[in-house]
């Protein structure tokens, strides 16, 4: 087993590999679920290469992704950190295969669903438990209080928020220290730089960017002619319309220029940029392919100095990213 560079998520003391692995796409969202045994093997390959930070959620599948991650990581339980999330429920629990599009972060719900996550993950304690989306019907102080109870009961070690705004983060942090915020952040989604990152730095909270490769777009392997699977959620994302993909290729072309100068790939430059921004940022690129996993981990060998960051950011700031990052209903659930 190799050793990768490690990072601490803010002041929490939670130490993880500098790059984690987002596991959502193995079961959900990017087309049909992938072969379970192949995904278990991929997760094992990640562990062998030094990855110690794995991300899943109750809603991925729903439920099946936690089961996959739990089964794959059972032999390594004491060597890895597993993050999962709560906060969704079926819109109608009486319907078979009901869509999980109802938010629920009521304290009694959190204390109920944690038991299912513990069971599916095959663990006695959840390392990092995120609120998946802020529930406007439940005061964040009540959510924090419920998770604090779970921490005191030994069912959760650390807790975090996802896509929360600065004021929500502050309120939550006063009840029980927030270890990490997980939100979208990449060279084509830079809103966190305005308020979120300064707030995290001030409070000593780690940052876990999801979709650090722009849902695959920043790899350079997707253009306006790419045919997405009919059940790939990107078909509903405005930024992924054929017209917007064509316009947004300008950012990939820019990454390509920097990549050629450094004998790297566009994906590696995009990840190296995030790693160079702050020492408490831990991106979690997802993949279902071993060669992509290895490519992503190679980003840790790409060193970008402050001058490089300035050059990349100056050039990127001149490119207008076309299209919203989510459909309107989903965009309303974010605090960026």
**Given this model, what pLDDT does residue 236 score?**
93
Binned at pLDDT 50, 70 and 90, residue 333 comes out as low
Q: Would you say residue 272 has pLDDT above 90?
A: yes
List the domains of the chain with CATH numbers.
6-213+278-301 (3.20.20.100)
Burial pattern 163-194, b for ≥16 Cβ within 10 A else e, equals bbbbebbebbbebbbbbbbbbbbbbbbbebee
Which tokens sit at 273? 């940029």
Active site residue 60: yes
> How much is the average pLDDT of 144-166?
98
pLDDT digits (tens, 9 = 90+) for 4-46: 999 999 999 999 999 999 999 999 999 899 999 999 999 999 9
The band of 101, judged by pLDDT with boundaries at 50, 70 and 90, is confident
Number of CB atoms found within 10 A of residue 324's CB: 13
Instruction: Single out the catalytic residue among 30, 60, 129, 130.
Output: 60
Q: At residue 253, does pLDDT exceed 90? A: yes
Model pLDDT, residue 204: 98
Tell me which of 2 and 281 has the higher pLDDT.
Answer: 281
What are the pLDDT digits (tens) for 227-245? 999 889 999 999 999 999 9
pLDDT in tens, 182-214: 999 999 999 999 999 999 999 999 999 999 999
Residue 14 is predicted with a pLDDT of: 98
What share of the chain has pLDDT > 90, as a percent?
Answer: 90
Structure tokens given for 238: 């405005």
Phi, psi of 85 (to 5 degrees): -140, 150
Bridge partners, 158 (sequence order): 128
- 3 state DSSP class of 102: strand
**Kindly report the CA angle at 163 between 148 and 216, in degrees rounded to 5?**
130
- Predicted pLDDT at 19: 98
Q: 112-119 long-range contacts, Cβ below 8 Å, gap at least 24?
A: 113/58, 113/86, 113/89, 114/86, 114/150, 114/155, 114/156, 116/58, 116/63, 117/58, 117/66, 117/84, 117/86, 118/155
Does the pLDDT value for residue 332 go beyond 70? no
Mean pLDDT of 235-260: 96
Q: Is the model's pLDDT at 334 over the cut of 70?
A: no
pTM above 0.85?
yes
């Amino acid at each position: 087993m190799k050793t990768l560079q490690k990072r601490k998520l803010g002041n929490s003391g939670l130490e993880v590999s500098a790059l984690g692995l987002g596991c959502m796409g193995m079961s959900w969202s990017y087309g049909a679920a992938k072969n379970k045994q192949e995904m278990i093997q991929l997760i094992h390959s990640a562990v062998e290469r030094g990855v110690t930070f794995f991300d899943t959620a109750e809603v991925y599948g729903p439920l099946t992704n936690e089961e996959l991650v739990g089964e794959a990581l059972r032999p390594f339980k004491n060597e890895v950190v597993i993050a999962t999330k709560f906060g969704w429920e079926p819109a109608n629990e009486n319907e078979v295969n009901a869509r999980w599009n109802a938010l629920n972060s009521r304290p009694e719900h959190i204390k109920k669903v944690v038991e299912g996550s513990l069971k599916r993950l095959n663990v006695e304690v959840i390392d990092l438990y995120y609120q998946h989306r802020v529930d406007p019907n439940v005061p964040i102080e009540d959510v924090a209080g419920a998770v604090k109870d779970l921490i005191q009961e030994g069912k959760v070690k650390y807790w975090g928020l996802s896509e929360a705004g600065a004021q929500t983060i502050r309120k939550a942090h006063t009840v029980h220290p927030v270890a990490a915020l997980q939100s979208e952040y990449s060279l084509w989604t830079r809103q966190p730089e305005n308020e979120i990152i300064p707030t995290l730095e001030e409070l000593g909270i780690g940052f876990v960017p999801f979709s650090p490769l722009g849902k695959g777009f920043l790899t350079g392997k997707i253009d306006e002619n790419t045919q997405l699977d009919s059940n790939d959620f990107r078909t509903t994302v405005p930024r992924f319309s054929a017209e917007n993909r064509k316009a947004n290729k300008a950012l990939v072309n820019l990454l390509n220029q920097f990549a050629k100068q450094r004998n790297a790939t566009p994906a590696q430059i995009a990840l190296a940029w995030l790693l160079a921004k702050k020492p408490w940022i831990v991106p979690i690129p997802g993949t279902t392919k071993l060669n992509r996993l290895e490519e992503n981990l190679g980003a840790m060998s790409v060193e970008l100095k402050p001058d490089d960051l300035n050059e990349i950011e100056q050039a990127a700031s001149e490119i207008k990213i076309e299209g919203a990052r989510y459909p309107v209903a989903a965009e309303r659930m974010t605090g960026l």
